[in-house]
């Protein structure tokens, strides 16, 4: 008997009490079989949505997706999703079923699920229902389509990306037939909405197996992000060549970042314009734009796009802990959070190159420590951290206007470079001396 949260036990028992069949299915069953804590409980039942509403008449019921048979019942303040058993339908557009037909048999419902590992149902009364060998695939860590993969991908085009995502996140191997069908049917992915693609891509990127998936399924990735396709076969100068191309470098770089979305997206796009040639300031601007274009096309939020592009924009900046003042100036210019992320990306970028460049890591690690120390000590890195403000500058006889800001920045740089302490009188003297006021 599975150990289930109260609201789930209650919901299942209530359905059983009214004579309906009810099962847990999907992620919760999969996680439990993997001995992992489940986070998201999906219930599937023989009751139609209207019947579910009647069973839970005394509760708040939200008709989340009545068309698809999903009703959300609020039990003790917790939302519980209940979906009626459904028959697989035809999908003329590769995205939406043509019709939704309810069934009284759990087997019908399991047939319409994407992967065997997601098609195991569990009933408190009847135990597991495992029609497609999902339990053994979970044990053997295998991703396999329910039924014929070509048919399943033709029905719903998102499924091929879901297979890749689950493989990346769970670290499972995609079985040969499913794998070949992903490659064969890759063009389907172009018909899926950018929002759904991006949601899957983000999970895929943050998975423990992202490197392997991005490597094996580069053909799918290049359809989604053609800007990366030009990296394939593009030899990069690694001294000894490193033995791999720029796309492989990108993929390795991702694997050396923490599984945090903004860092992984920055790693994915950090070299997007390198093959076209020129380096230097212009390249930075172009690179920024390419990354921003990709992200906005994929409907990434503008806040996340900004975060990612700021990291990329500075990833070629020279940062070395030997020059403490320069590091603090850098953190002051871009902000502490971005500065740390830039260093993380630079570290990954080096680790993804020939080991003879690893010597550069020491300078980056030292820079990272300097920034952490500044953060812990509450060091002044912004004008607003100073012990003086604009009024103090004006009290020195300076006229209102942009020069006030300039003088505050001069004072800040004095503090950052240890020329003066962040103390009111000392700062005023320091600025006064600069402008020649006694
Ligand atoms: P997690 O929530 O941890 O990402 P999950 O397995 O619960 O994993 P969901 O996307 O929440 O994944 O979907 C719930 C279940 O619905 C899946 O386990 C699967 O059985 C089914 N499912 C979801 N999307 C599809 C699809 N496109 N085609 C077929 N079945 C699907
Ligand atoms: Mg889920």
My answer on whether 250 and 369 are in the same domain is yes
Residue 288 lies in a domain: yes
Residues 389, 38: Cα–Cα separation, whole Å: 53
For ligand 1, residues with CB inside 6 Å are 26-27, 40, 42, 113-114, 118-119, 156, 158-159, 162
Beta carbons of 321 and 364 less than 8 angstroms apart: yes
**CB of 157 closer than 8 Å to CB of 189:** yes
| Residues bordering ligand 2, an ion, CB closer than 5 Å | 27, 40
Ligand 1 centroid to 26 CA: how many Å? 6
CATH, residue 77: 3.30.460.10
The per-residue pLDDT for 115 is: 98
**Domain annotation covers residue 52:** yes
Q: Which contacts of 129-135 are long-range, i.e. CB under 8 A and separated by 24 or more positions? A: 129/23, 131/107, 134/30, 135/33
Domain hosting 363: range is 225-374
Residue 281 has pLDDT above 50, yes or no: no
Answer yes or no: do 29 and 120 share one domain. Answer: yes
**Whether residue 354 is found in the same domain as residue 396:** no
pLDDT tens track for 97-124? 888 899 999 999 999 999 999 999 999 9
Is residue 414 in some structural domain? yes
Which ligand 1 atom lies nearest to the CA of residue 156? Answer: 27
CA end-to-end span of the chain, whole Å? Answer: 83
pLDDT at 231: 86
Residue nearest ligand 1's atom 13 by CA: 26
Residues 6+ apart with CB under 8 A from 145: 114, 115, 116, 152, 153, 159, 163, 177, 178, 181
- Please count the structural domains in the chain: 3
Looking at 374, 400, 421, the residue that finishes a domain is: 374
Instruction: For ligand 1, atom 25, name the residue with the nearest CA.
Output: 114
Report the pLDDT value the prediction gives residue 237, as an integer from 0 to 100: 56
Residue 288 has a pLDDT of 61
Residue 78 covered by a domain: yes
Please state the pTM of the whole predicted model.
0.91
**Pairing state between β 86-87 and 127-129:** unpaired
Arithmetic mean of pLDDT over the chain: 92
Q: At residue 374, does pLDDT exceed 50?
A: yes
Ligand 2 center–CA 42 separation, angstroms: 7
């Amino acid at each position: 008997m599975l150990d289930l949260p109260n609201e789930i036990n209650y919901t299942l028992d209530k359905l059983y009490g009214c004579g309906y069949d009810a099962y847990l299915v999907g992620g919760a069953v999969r996680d439990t079989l993997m001995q992992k804590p489940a986070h998201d409980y999906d219930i599937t039942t023989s009751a139609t949505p209207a019947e579910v509403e009647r069973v839970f008449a005394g509760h708040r019921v939200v008709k989340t997706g009545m068309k698809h048979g999903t009703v959300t019942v609020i039990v003790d303040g917790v939302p519980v999703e209940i979906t009626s058993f459904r028959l697989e339908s035809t999908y003329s557009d590769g995205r939406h079923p043509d019709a939704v037909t309810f069934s009284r048999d759990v087997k019908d419902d399991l047939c319409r699920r994407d992967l065997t590992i997601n098609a195991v149902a569990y009933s408190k009364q009847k135990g597991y229902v495992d029609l497609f060998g999902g339990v053994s695939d979970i044990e053997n860590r295998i991703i396999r389509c329910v039924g014929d993969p070509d048919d399943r991908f033709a029905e719903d085009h998102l499924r091929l990306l879901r297979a890749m995502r689950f493989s990346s996140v769970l670290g499972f191997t995609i079985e040969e037939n499913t794998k070949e069908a992903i490659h064969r049917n890759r063009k389907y992915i172009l018909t899926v909405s950018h929002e759904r693609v991006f949601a899957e891509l983000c999970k895929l990127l943050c998975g423990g197996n992202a490197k392997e998936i991005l490597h094996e399924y580069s053909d799918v990735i290049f359809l989604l992000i053609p800007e990366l396709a030009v990296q394939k076969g593009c030899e990069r100068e690694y001294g000894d060549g490193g033995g791999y191309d720029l796309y492989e470098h990108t993929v390795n770089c991702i694997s050396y970042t923490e599984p945090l979305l903004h860092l992984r997206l920055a790693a994915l796009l950090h070299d997007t314009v390198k093959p076209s040639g020129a380096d230097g300031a212009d390249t930075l601007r172009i690179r920024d734009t390419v990354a921003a274009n990709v992200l906005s096309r994929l409907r990434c939020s503008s806040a996340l796009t900004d975060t990612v592009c700021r990291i990329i924009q500075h990833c070629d900046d020279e940062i070395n802990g030997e020059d403490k003042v320069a590091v603090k100036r850098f953190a002051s210019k871009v902000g502490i959070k971005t500065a740390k992320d830039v260093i993380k990306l630079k570290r990954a970028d080096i680790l993804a190159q020939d080991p003879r460049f690893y010597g550069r890591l020491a300078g980056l690690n030292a820079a990272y420590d300097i920034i952490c120390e500044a953060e812990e000590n509450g060091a002044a890195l912004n004008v607003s951290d100073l012990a003086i403000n604009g009024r103090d500058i004006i009290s020195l006889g300076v006229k209102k206007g942009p020069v006030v800001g300039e003088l505050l920045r001069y004072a800040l740089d004095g503090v950052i470079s240890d020329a003066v302490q962040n103390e009111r009188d000392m700062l005023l003297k320091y600025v006064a001396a600069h402008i020649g006021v006694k």
